[in-house]
Amino acid sequence: MKISKLLHAALLVSDLQRAKQFYDGVLGLKEKPRHSFDFDGVWYDLGENELHLMVVPDALLPAEQRPRRDYHVAFLIDDYEAAKAQLTQLGVPFREGRHGLPQLFVRDPDGNLVELQQAPSSHP
C-alpha cells in the first residue's frame, strides 16, 4: 500500500453554528456540499484536501482536562504577522510556536487545536 496524499481531516464539535462562526468567520474557510448523513456537520474545501466538522454533543473533554499537546489540524498561512493581527483584533487567544517556527496555535470553540503555520522560508 502506498499513501499518496491526505484527503481530509475531521474534528468533533458540539455546536455547529458556533463552530462555523470560527471556521468561516475567523479562519475564512469556504463551505462545500456535503452528503446527507444521520448527524450534523459541515465540509470545507481546502483545495486538494477537506476539513470535516462532525457534531457530537457533549463528547469532548472539558478544557482543564485536555493535554497541552493533542490531536490537531494544521493549515498553511501566507502571512504570519497579518494572522497574528487578525486574531488579536477578533479577540481570539493564541500562542506562538517555539524554536523560531512561524506557528500560531488557537482553539476552536470546542477546544480543538488548530495550528496556523507559515512556510519557514517565507517568514522574516
Looking at residue 7, its pLDDT comes to 80
38 vs 61 pLDDT, higher one: 38
Question: Is it the case that residue 35 has pLDDT exceeding 80?
Answer: yes
Looking at residue 12, its pLDDT comes to 87
Cell reading at 42: 459541515
Q: How far is Cα 37 from Cα 22, in angstroms, rounded to an integer?
A: 22
Chain center to CA of 45: 13
Contact 73, 114 (CB under 8 A): yes
- In percent, the amount of the chain with pLDDT more than 90 equals 47
**How much is the average pLDDT of 47-64?**
79
Domains of the chain (ranges, CATH numbers): 8-57+67-122 (3.10.180.10)
**Mind listing the pLDDT tens digit for each residue in 62-92?**
666 655 556 778 899 989 999 999 999 999 9
Q: Is-above-0.85 flag for pTM?
A: no
Q: Of all helices (H) and strands (E), which one includes residue 46?
A: strand 41-46
Provide DSSP, 62-82: -GGGS-SS--EEEEEES-HHH
Q: How far is Cα 10 from Cα 110, in angstroms, rounded to an integer?
A: 13
Looking at residue 69, its pLDDT comes to 55
Q: How far is Cα 4 from Cα 67, in angstroms, rounded to an integer?
A: 31
Give the sign of the dihedral formed by CA 37, CA 40, CA 45, CA 49: negative
Looking at residue 70, its pLDDT comes to 63
Looking at residue 5, its pLDDT comes to 77
